[in-house]
Amino acid sequence: MTAQLTHTYKRWSRLFVPALVLQLIAWWLGIFWVGTDKDQGDVYRIIFVHVPVAWCAFMWIILAAGFAVFGFVKKKSFEEMDRSAHAAINLGTVFSALALATGSIWGRPTWGVWWDWDPRLTSTLVMFLVCCAYHVLRSFTPDIQSRRNSGQIVAILAAVNVPIVYFSVNIWRSLHQPQTFVRRGGSASSDIGLVLFANLIAMILLTLVLYKMRRTAIAAQESLEAAREGR
């Protein structure tokens, strides 16, 4: 294992605990510091975890598509971009699952149901399914070059599909029933906005550290496979 790979992994894994502590501070602000919402009561505090998680999920899926496009454009970096896209989709899968879970947990006391065919939740669900299919595709493709090619294409398709599904579910929902969750008339308090922003920044930083850790681990794994196959 080269010194560079080990150095990279150690550097980023050391940042994990500080990033986690930062996130815990942001969560503390959301649970204990900011006041209660007059419409939803205290259960609205789930927003400080659900919204950052959902945004991070979308961010990493779009980044994965960006890596894939870059890999196709710059053939020399194809292998590296594939590893980057793989790590990004990994994160996107986990965070979309978390967005669905936290969305459901928030929906139960708010809407009275665990699931509603809300355009945002539905497009997150579809994105999660495509991410799962990405991982299944990679494990079902034995040849490394084909695996990289197919993976990159699916990463691009996954990102392109997200706005299409959101748009279509939005129209579909408006036909069948009115919005079950209506935005409040007044704008949100600036404190809520501030805490939400703090949580978003903390979550982005934490996912960046996780991405680097996963990326290095994937590089190590693929190096081992390449060495065994004599590539």
Partner 1 sequence: MATVTSGQNWFASCRLVFEYSVRSVFIRKASWAGTLAFAACLAILFPFSFGTELIQKAEIRHGAFWAINEFVVALTVGRLFTTEAESGILEMMLAAGLSRSAILFGKILFVVLYLLSVQLPLLAVWIVFYNVPNAALFSVLPTIFPLLLLFNLGTGTIGALLACVTARSTGRDLLMPLLFYPLQLSVLLAAVSLATYTDPAVVMLAGTQGSSWWTLLTGVPVVFLALGVLLSQALFQE
Partner 2 sequence: MRRRSRWKPQEKGVKVMNTSEYGNISWFFYVIAAYGSVAASIIVFAISCRRQYCKAQEALKEEGFSADKTW
> x/- site string to partner 2, residues 39 to 78, per CB under 8 A?
--xxx-xx--xx--x-------------------------
Look at residue 113 and give the partner it binds from partner 1, partner 2, none, a contact being a CB closer than 5 to 8 Å depending on partner kind. none
Q: Which of 129, 194, 220, 226 binds partner 1 (CB under 8 A)?
A: 129
Buried b (16+ CB within 10 A) or exposed e, 124-160: bbbbbebbeebeeebeeeeeeeebbbbbbebbbebbe
Position 22 contacts partner 2 (CB under 8 A): no
Shortest gap between Cβ of 84 and partner 2 (angstroms)?
10
Q: What DSSP string describes 128-140?
A: HHHHHHHHHHHHH
In the block, which residue shows the tokens 């459901």? 104
Position 77 contacts partner 1 (CB under 8 A): no
Shortest gap between Cβ of 148 and partner 1 (angstroms)?
9
> x/- site string to partner 1, residues 133 to 162, per CB under 8 A?
x--xx--xxxx-xx--xx-xxx-xx--xx-
Burial label, 177 (beta-carbon count in 10 A; 0-12, 13-18, 19+): exposed
Q: How many CB atoms lie within 10 A of CB 10?
A: 11
In the block, which residue shows the tokens 């940042």? 15
* Cα(47)–Cα(38) distance, integer angstroms: 15
Q: Which of 164, 220, 224, 226 binds partner 1 (CB under 8 A)?
A: 164
Does an H or E element contain 34, and which? none
Distance between first and last Cα of the chain: 16
* Part of the chain binding partner 1 (CB under 8 A), chosen from 13-21, 126-134, 192-200, 223-231: 126-134
Position 8 contacts partner 2 (CB under 8 A): yes
Task: Name the residues that contact partner 2, by CB under 8 A.
Answer: 1-2, 4-6, 8-9, 13, 16, 20, 23, 27, 31-36, 41-43, 45-46, 49-50, 53, 79-80, 83, 94, 97-98, 101-102, 105-106, 108-109, 189, 191, 206, 210, 213-214, 216-221, 223-224, 226-228
